[in-house]
Amino acid sequence: MPKVGMEPVRRQQLIDATIESVAERGLQSTTINSISKKAGMSSGIISHYFGGKQGLIEATVRYLLTNLKHELINRVTATTTAQQRLMFIVEANFARLQLQSDTTKTWLSFWAQSMHDAQLHRLQNVNSRRLLSNLTSSFKQLMNNADAKLAAELCAAMIDGLWLRAVLSKSDEDQFEHCERLAKGYVNSLIKQYGA
């Protein structure tokens, strides 16, 4: 008889094992067996909880997306200004969890695979739209709507580009902090350029 309350714990263990396996082996070489071995569970439990490898991969992407969302939500309060919120958006994308080696390798694997997998592509679009929406909403409080949309698109590209450059260069934490400062400086320059 299964232990009551163990499902959420086991699901999280499998998600953590997936992140580790993808970081070590890449998404294509990650198997149900490599995940279950890392988690110390039978491979059948993956099918039981997630319906198979694809379901677990999708759950792992959703987990990473949720963590990214909570990085921002946990920083914003009712008194947060639009400019502060923009800085928090940048900080959330360069947060410690997002910069952990296993996490960055997993994000890169998912980004690459999303070009070939409709469900992962959908989840990547959710991520991109959320970033753009958050940026646009904040910029609209500082400039007209057309400029806010343009500033948000430019800023999203800068955040993604700086993050990707730092990850691909296998840089240390100082490089990520440098990239965060560059992104914040860029936000401020957009506010000066387009702001009211």
Cα–Cα distance measured from residue 158 to residue 163, given in angstroms and rounded to the nearest whole number: 8
Write down all domains in the chain, each with its CATH number in brackets: 57-194 (1.10.357.10)
Cα–Cα distance measured from residue 74 to residue 71, given in angstroms and rounded to the nearest whole number: 6
Cβ contact 155:190 at 8 Å: yes
* pLDDT of amino acid 95: 81
pLDDT category of residue 1 using cuts at 50, 70 and 90: very low
Structure tokens of 71?
A: 């990085």
DSSP code at position 142: T
Rounded mean pLDDT of the chain?
A: 91
Q: By percentage, how much of the chain surpasses pLDDT 90?
A: 78
* pLDDT of amino acid 98: 66
* pLDDT of amino acid 2: 56
Helix, strand or coil, per DSSP, at residue 96? helix
Name the one residue in this structure whose structure tokens are 């039978």.
Answer: 42
The whole model's pTM is what?
0.87
pLDDT category of residue 100 using cuts at 50, 70 and 90: confident
pLDDT in tens, 62-91: 999 999 899 899 999 999 999 999 999 999
pLDDT category of residue 186 using cuts at 50, 70 and 90: very high
pLDDT in tens, 131-148: 999 999 999 999 999 999
pLDDT in tens, 34-60: 999 999 999 999 999 999 999 999 999
Q: Which residue has the higher pLDDT, 100 or 183?
A: 183
